[in-house]
């Protein structure tokens, strides 16, 4: 696959030393996290390449796309969805190959939801209500003494979309689909670790009869590279980003110079509360999924588990046993991320944690031993103030601690600088309704995990983000309401 920049409807050639605009900084190897082999090369966009992509998006905004009807935009989104569906297996293989996640996960979660993103926003464009008011004007001496106020929406303009490596295409299209639906043009910058499905998406969009420049793609790194050039660009009208909280803070500082609107979905240190009245079997299976799906490399994964004391020992032992029996899990995205997770495993030992399961590196006696794997790990015995309990690890690890009362459970869940998601396990309906609204998180699941309806708001509070994505909430961000007032 030629993982090239896509600008103005054209894939640009690249070499090892320079790009088409003379400022690219060459290429970097794309590493297979399963076995450490090289999958290909990825170009690094320099400032002039990013400038060209933004200029192409600006030109397309002022061209036919700027006057495209909602019906035509919806039809374009459906053509994109159909194009992805037609190349489903190709997308699955590329997503699994870049991330190392099991093919089944990409085939049942990532790519189906990608297709759903485009189809959902095509549907949402129809019948979206706006407000109109007939207002009496006291003391008005001409006309009827009334004014009619109504709202219309216009696109923000050129939108920069920067997406992470853990759910590369799903999170990219969660922003690209509503941005295009609202009439914007897009410059996308996927993670340099996982560029392949974004490149396939550009191919599909190129065949979906959108005007050149509506969607553009640049590859490269973040800090000091293509990502920083893009998010600080003076001609970018909005930035939508998913990734680490520290990166979000850096983007916000850069966006402040131009007062550029931002939408952020950032990190999480998510809590699960397991009450003694819960269906323990369901809670165990749910927590196993929420802690270890994609080897914990999902912002929604559970890293803190709080269990009511009467069932604490039983729950910890059973969760550890199930974690030890896990097979078929994927690697960390890179050697650097593997080393980061392992450093937290060592820190846990230094802090005096009790290792219930895992805590090291698995040995497979095959090519995977050259990959970036760590063991699914369950810890216990650390105080709430420990770094293991407070810092986002983003790996297959959770710490389990007991609680005594409902109030204590809520206090422990909220004792975090993050506030993305939480899970409550209880068969007491009244307790569920009491507890869920008290948890400081953008999403609270009760007796389930990661069930998503694209029409609902998604996002975090505190260090976990700004704004909400999903349904009309995304369309609100990617469009500007304009009030029209007419004297009657």
Spacing of C-alpha 461 from chain mean position: 15
- Residues 6 or more apart whose Cβ sits within 8 Å of residue 190: 163, 168, 172, 197, 198, 217, 219
Both structure tokens of 197: 């499905």
Nearest Cα to Cα of residue 428 among 409, 443, 451, 411: 409
Q: Are 419 and 464 in contact (CB under 8 A)?
A: yes
Straight-line distance from the first to the last Cα atom of the chain, in angstroms, rounded to the nearest whole number:
61
Residue showing tokens 């996960």: 105
Q: Are 378 and 323 in contact (CB under 8 A)?
A: yes
Strands 146-155, 354-357: parallel, antiparallel or unpaired by DSSP? unpaired
Residue showing tokens 């980061």: 340
Nearest Cα to Cα of residue 65 among 256, 216, 166: 216
Examine the residue annotation and report whether 299 is marked as an active-site residue of this protein: yes
Give the dihedral of Cα atoms 343, 348, 350, 355; nearest 10 deg.
Answer: -120
Q: List the catalytic residue out of 44, 192, 265, 308.
A: 265
Nearest Cα to Cα of residue 6 among 250, 195, 181: 195
Instruction: Tell me whether residue 363 is exposed, middle or buried, using C-beta atoms within 10 angstroms of its C-beta: 0 to 12, 13 to 18, 19 or more.
Output: exposed
Reduce the DSSP state of residue 74 to 3 states and report it: helix
Both structure tokens of 163: 């997406």
Q: What are phi and psi of 30, to 5 degrees?
A: -100, 115
Q: What are phi and psi of 413, to 5 degrees?
A: -60, -40
Examine the residue annotation and report whether 265 is marked as an active-site residue of this protein: yes
Q: Are 464 and 418 in contact (CB under 8 A)?
A: yes
Q: At what angle do helices 70-86 and 168-181 cross, to 10 degrees?
A: 160
Q: Where are the alpha helices (DSSP H) in 14-110?
A: 47-61, 70-86, 88-99, 103-105
Cα separation, 88 vs 110, in Å, equals 11
Nearest Cα to Cα of residue 154 among 484, 488, 486: 484
Q: List the catalytic residue out of 192, 299, 308, 469.
A: 299
CB count, 10 Å around CB of 456?
13
Q: Which 8-state DSSP code applies to residue 31?
A: E
Residue showing tokens 């709080």: 306
Cα separation, 275 vs 28, in Å, equals 49
Report the catalytic residues.
265, 299
């Amino acid at each position: 696959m030629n993982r090239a920049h896509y600008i103005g409807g054209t894939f640009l050639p690249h070499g090892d030393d320079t790009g088409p605009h003379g400022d690219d900084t060459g290429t970097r190897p794309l590493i297979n996290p399963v076995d450490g082999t090289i999958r290909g090369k990825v170009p690094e966009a320099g400032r002039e390449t990013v400038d060209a992509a933004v200029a192409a998006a600006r030109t397309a905004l002022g061209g036919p796309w700027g006057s495209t009807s909602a019906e035509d935009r919806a039809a374009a989104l459906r053509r994109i969805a159909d194009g992805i569906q037609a190349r489903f297996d190709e997308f699955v293989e590329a997503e699994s190959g870049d991330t190392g996640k099991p093919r089944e996960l990409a085939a049942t979660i990532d790519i189906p939801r990608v297709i759903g993103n485009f189809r959902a926003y095509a549907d949402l464009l129809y019948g979206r209500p706006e407000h109109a008011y007939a207002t009496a004007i006291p003391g008005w001496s001409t006309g009827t003494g009334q004014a009619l106020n109504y709202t219309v929406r216009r696109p923000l303009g050129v939108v920069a979309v920067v997406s992470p490596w853990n759910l590369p295409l799903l999170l990219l299209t969660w922003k690209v689909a509503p941005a295009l639906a609202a009439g914007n043009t897009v410059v996308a910058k996927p993670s340099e670790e996982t560029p392949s499905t974004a490149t396939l998406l550009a191919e599909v969009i190129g065949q979906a009869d959108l005007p050149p420049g509506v969607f553009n793609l640049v590859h490269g790194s973040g800090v000091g590279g293509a990502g920083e050039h893009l998010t600080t660009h003076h001609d970018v009208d909005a930035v939508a980003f998913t990734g680490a909280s520290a990166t979000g803070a850096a983007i916000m500082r850069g966006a402040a110079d131009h007062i550029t609107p931002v939408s952020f979905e950032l990190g999480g240190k998510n809590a699960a509360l397991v009450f003694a009245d819960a269906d323990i079997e369901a809670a165990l299976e749910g927590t196993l999924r929420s802690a270890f799906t994609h080897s914990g490399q999902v912002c929604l994964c559970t890293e803190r588990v709080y269990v009511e004391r009467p069932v604490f020992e039983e729950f910890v032992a059973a969760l550890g046993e199930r974690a030890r029996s896990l097979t078929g899990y994927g690697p960390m995205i890179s050697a650097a991320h593997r080393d980061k997770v392992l450093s937290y495993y060592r820190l846990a030992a230094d802090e005096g944690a009790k290792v219930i399961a895992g805590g090291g590196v698995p040995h497979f006696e095959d090519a995977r031993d050259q990959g970036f794997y760590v063991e699914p790990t369950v810890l216990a015995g650390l105080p709430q103030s420990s770094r293991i309990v407070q810092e986002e690890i983003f790996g297959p690890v959770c710490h389990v601690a007991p609680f005594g009362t409902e109030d204590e459970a809520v206090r422990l869940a909220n004792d975090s600088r993050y506030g993305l998601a939480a899970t409550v396990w209880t068969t007491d309906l009244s307790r569920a309704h009491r507890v869920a609204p008290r948890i400081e998180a953008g999403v609270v699941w009760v007796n389930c995990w990661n069930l998503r309806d694209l029409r609902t708001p998604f996002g975090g509070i505190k260090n976990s983000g700004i704004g909400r994505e999903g349904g009309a909430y995304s369309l609100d961000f990617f469009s500007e309401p304009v009030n029209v007032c007419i004297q009657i």
